[in-house]
Chain A
Amino acid sequence: MGKKILVIEDEASVRRLVEFVFSKNGFEVIGAANGQEGLELARQHYPNLIILDLRLPIMDGVEVGKALKNDEKLRNIPVILVTASTDNIEQKVKESLVDGYFLKPFDYQELLKKVMQLLR
């Protein structure tokens, strides 16, 4: 049985490739193009893990992360932050309460490894 991964990423190409990688590895992947949509889909589908971009329209990664971790039902879902910006990254990671982060361009195998580790 496949585990569900929610990819919240506004950049369609990146989202598509991540979806591709995870579906090839036996995951069920749901994509969201902005923070708000991502949060709604998370509440709808209860994914096993969320990959969250930092810079997003409507709600950014930090806000989404905070919302997820403050939601009784969602707070146990591991979240991995993916970002292209290194500005204040440590602080943002702390603030968004996520479980790990990757700097773009990341090595997808490393990401996969991390996801596996979190889902074990």
Chain B
Amino acid sequence: MLKLSIRTKIIIAFFILIILSVSFLLISFPSLSKINSLSFAAIPLSREINILQDYDESVKYLANKIELYFNIRSEEMKGEVLAAVKQVSGLATQHKHEKALSSLAGMFSVVLELNNAVTELMGYMDKGESAYTINLQIVTVNKLFEAFDRMQNNLQEARLIQLQKNVHEQTEITQRILDRFLMIEIWIIAIGFLSSIVLSRIITRNLLKLRQGTQEIAAGNFSARIDISSNDEIEELAQSFNTMADHLRKTTVSKDYMDNVIRTMAETLIVVNPDLTISSVNQATCGLLGYSEDELMGKPVKMLFSTEGTLMESAEFSELIKDAKLMNCEINYRAKSGRRIPIILSTSAMKDKDNNTVRIICTATDIIERKIAEEKLKEVAELKSKLTSMVSHELRTPLAAIKTGISIVLDGLTGGINAEQKEVLDIVKTNVDRLARLINDVLDFHKLESKKMQLKMEENDIVQVIREIYDMMNPLAEQKGLTFTLEVPALLPKAVFDKDRIIQVLSNLVNNALKFTQKGSITITADKELQGIHVAVVDTGVGIKQEDISRLFHSFEQLETPDNTKIEGTGLGLAICNEIIEQHGGDIWVESEIGKGSTFHFIIPFKRELA
């Protein structure tokens, strides 16, 4: 097979045909020029024949006139004879000198001689010469007539033969050319026919292969390959098809892969058109909502959502979907059954080159499990709360009996007791009080933490509160040999706070200061700051390690003292303080240096910012 492009093949076939035609012309050319020269040669021949015939007629006319004159001897006849002589001789004289007619010169001479002889005869007859002389002259004239006749006949015959030969030759050559032309024509037709068959066979065979291949590819068999190695445009086309099939296979493979991913993903996926109708959904969506894919196509996406029980308005929600601005938004699906399913919804916009939104992709996770867990947590919290109050109640009742009982005995209501009995019962009473405080702390903290504590927010004077604390705690400080001082201005603007709770905070802080200070002083300071009343409890105690400060306000955190002495308490005191101040909208913090002491600060804002 020729490894040439179709174009080249067609051009080659065309050239073969042109070469054939040209070679035909080349072969025919000498024959044609021969015909040409033969035709040219025929022209003088025909003229000579014409002239010969003319002369023949003229001479015959002269002979006729002479004969008439012999019969009718008149001046008129004589004149006609002489006119005929004159005409013939004039022509002959003229023709004799014509070069082209040199082959006829002999005949012209004879004609002139004949004319002379006739003229002489006419002279003889005019002069009345003797019959003899006249007869003699007639004989001469007759002889010349005969000579002319012969000559004329010979010449004419020769010319005719030549002309005949010429025509014959031309006919022959023409015939030959015609024959050759016919043969070459047949060849051209044959070659043209053959080459077109071959070419079309080459082309169509590959085209058929191509069609078969493309049909197979079109049918979805992307691994089909068209095997054509014709080294031409069709092969190129076939290769293009193969490449295309390859790409198609790859994209179908990746599309299948992506389809699989989307189909099997647990999250629900809804593709939404810009007009907020549903473009497509995945299996998880259908499974969760109980719709079939067909039921959802083209339907408004709004039907799948319910804003009931959320913070969002339905119209606002539609806008947010349209702008693809939802990110981890808690909302509900509305299933076909009407059931609402809590979900977390996120949207993203699919954009084209011009940044126009073409689709909105909504993905949502069903958080029903989480909601159930949240409900359970709530139940657990409620249970905890019930348990806490129940336990504290159940503990308090026996504690009341113990405390009252011991107090009665200690106070001698049951009769006198000795010093040793008193010492033991004192220890019991101290611990009963401690247990009671512990229970109170746990309950307080629980209430504060679960926001069940209702603060009695009223306008109060912090100076008065501090003085109350001072009066309450000063005896304890004196007992320990500590100086307890106040650095408080006589007048401070009133602030809004729960007096009992702030007393709880301050007494907690002062109690801590008393606990951790062995010598030196405890000072309460208060002043007015921009955002509120700033209160600080300053001690000269053991101090707190920097790394412990962050843990200080956490619940159930009890720090080790530098000398490792165990300090009684629940580890809830500061956590309660923190909660109380926080619920007042204030701030609590500590500054401390080991061995030098600690300062606990808090701020009560003038006005609590209500949430």
- Interface segment out of the listed B238-246, B295-303, B395-403: B395-403
Q: In the complex, what distance in Å separates the CA atom of A17 from the CA atom of B408?
A: 8
Across the interface, do B389 and A87 meet the contact criterion of CB distance under 8 Å? Answer: yes
CB-defined contacts of B411 to chain A, threshold 8 Å: 109
Contacts known (A21-B413, A85-B389, A86-B443); A105 close to B408, Cβ less than 8 A: no
B404–A21 touching, CB < 8 Å: yes
Contacts of A24 in B (CB 8 A): 408, 413
A107 lies within 8 A of B400 (CB): no
**For the complex, is B30 an interface residue (Cβ under 8 Å from A)?**
no
Contact B413 A105 (CB under 8 A): no
A49-63 vs B, CB cutoff 8 Å, 1 = contact: the mask equals 000000100000000
Known contacts A13-B401, A20-B413; decide if A84 and B407 are in contact (CB<8 Å).
no
Q: B442 to chain A: closest CB distance in Å? A: 11
Contact indicator A104/B407 (Cβ below 8 Å): no
Chain A residue numbers with a CB within 8 Å of B408 are 17, 20-21, 24, 108
A8 within 8 A of B: no
- Contacts A105-B436, A107-B407, A109-B407; is A17 near B396 (CB within 8 Å)? no
A18 within 8 A of B: yes
Check A84/B404 contact, CB under 8 A, given A21-B413, A105-B432. Answer: no
- Across the interface, name the chain A residue whose C-beta is closest to B435: A105
Q: Are A14 and B400 in contact (CB under 8 A)?
A: yes
Q: Is the CB of A11 within 8 A of B413?
A: no
* Cβ-defined contact, A104 with B389, below 8 A: no
Contact of B400 among A20, A55, A86, A104 (CB under 8 A): A104
Q: How far is the CB of A39 from chain B (nearest CB, A)?
A: 22
CB of A17 within 8 A of CB of B393, answer: no
Q: Mark A93-111, 1 if CB is under 8 A from B, else 0.
A: 0000000000111111100
B443, A11: Cβ atoms closer than 8 Å: no
B396 adjacent to A14 (CB under 8 Å) = no
Interface residues of A in 1-49 (CB under 8 A from B): 11, 13-14, 17-18, 20-21, 24
Q: Which of B535-589 contact A (CB under 8 A)?
A: none
Asked whether, in the complex, the Cβ of A84 is within 8 Å of the Cβ of B396, the reply is: yes
Residues of the B chain whose Cβ atoms lie less than 8 Å from the Cβ of A13: 398, 401
User: Pick the contact of B393 from A18, A20, A21, A84 — CB < 8 Å?
Assistant: A84
- Of residues 348 through 390 on chain B, the ones whose CB sits less than 8 Å from some CB of chain A are 389
CB of B405 closer than 8 Å to a CB of A: yes
Interface residue total, chain B, C-beta cutoff 8 A: 22
Q: How far is the CA of A86 from the CA of B432 in the complex (A)?
A: 18
Q: Which residue of B lies closest to A12 (CB)?
A: B401
Alpha-carbon gap, A87 to B302, bound state (A): 46
Given A20-B408, A20-B413: A105 in contact with B402 (beta carbons within 8 A): yes
What residue of chain B has the Cβ atom nearest to residue A17's Cβ? B404
A21 to B392 CA separation, bound complex (whole angstroms)? 25
Closest beta carbon of chain B to A6's beta carbon, Å: 18
Nearest-Cβ distance from residue A73 to partner chain B, whole angstroms: 31
In the assembled complex, the CB of A101 is this many whole angstroms from the nearest CB of chain B, namely 13
Shortest Cβ distance from residue B536 to the other chain A in the assembled complex, whole angstroms: 30
A41 to B392, CA, bound (A): 30
Given A13-B401, A17-B405, CB of A85 within 8 Å of CB of B436: no
Residues from chain A with a CB closer than 8 A to the CB of B398 are 13
- Beta-carbon contact of A14 and B413 below 8 Å: no
Q: Which residue of B lies closest to A102 (CB)?
A: B400
How far apart are A80's CB and chain B's nearest CB, in angstroms?
A: 14
Q: Complex Cα distance A17/B403, Å?
A: 10
**A105–B389 touching, CB < 8 Å:** no
How far apart are the CA atoms of A82 and B392 in the complex, in Å? 15
Which chain A positions have C-beta within 8 A of B396? 84-85, 103-105
**Which of A24, A86, A104 counts the most chain B CB atoms within 10 A?**
A104
The answer to whether A14 and B404 have CB atoms under 8 Å apart is yes
C-alpha gap A84/B392 in the complex (Å): 8
Question: Closest chain A residue to B411 by CB distance?
Answer: A109
If the complex has contacts A21-B408, A24-B413, are A14 and B393 also in contact, measured as CB distance less than 8 A? Answer: no
Check A55–B393 contact: CB distance below 8 A.
yes
> Taking A17-B408, A24-B413 as contacts, is the C-beta distance between A105 and B400 under 8 angstroms?
yes
Q: If the complex has contacts A20-B413, A85-B389, are A108 and B404 also in contact, measured as CB distance less than 8 A?
A: yes
Q: Is the CB of A18 within 8 A of B389?
A: no
Chain A residues whose CB sits within 8 angstroms of the CB of B394 once the complex forms: 84
B432 cross-chain contacts in A, Cβ below 8 A = 105
Interface-centre pick from A17, A18, A84, A108 (highest chain B CB count, 10 A): A84
Residues of A within 8 A of B393 (CB): 55, 84-85
Across the interface, B397 reaches (CB within 8 A) one of A11, A18, A108, A109, namely A11
List of A residues within 8 angstroms of B397 by Cβ: 11, 14, 84, 104
Determine the distance from Cα of A28 to Cα of B581 in the docked complex, in whole angstroms.
48
Alpha-carbon gap, A84 to B443, bound state (A): 12
Q: How far is the CA of A24 from the CA of B414 in the complex (A)?
A: 9
Contact B401 A14 (CB under 8 A): yes
A17 to B399, CA, bound (A): 12
Question: Which residues of B line the A interface, CB within 8 A?
Answer: 389, 392-405, 407-408, 411, 413, 432, 436, 443
Closest 6 CB pairs of A and B: A84-B396, A104-B400, A105-B400, A105-B403, A105-B399, A13-B401
Given contacts A21-B404, A105-B400, 7 further A-B contacts (CB under 8 A): A13-B401, A17-B401, A17-B405, A18-B404, A104-B399, A105-B403, A107-B403
List 27 contacting pairs A-B, 8 Å CB cutoff, sorted by A: A11-B397, A11-B400, A11-B401, A14-B400, A14-B404, A20-B413, A21-B408, A21-B413, A55-B393, A84-B394, A84-B397, A85-B389, A86-B392, A87-B389, A104-B397, A104-B399, A104-B400, A105-B396, A105-B402, A105-B404, A106-B400, A106-B403, A106-B404, A107-B407, A108-B403, A108-B404, A109-B407
Chain A residues with CB under 8 Å of chain B are 11, 13-14, 17-18, 20-21, 24, 55, 82, 84-87, 103-109
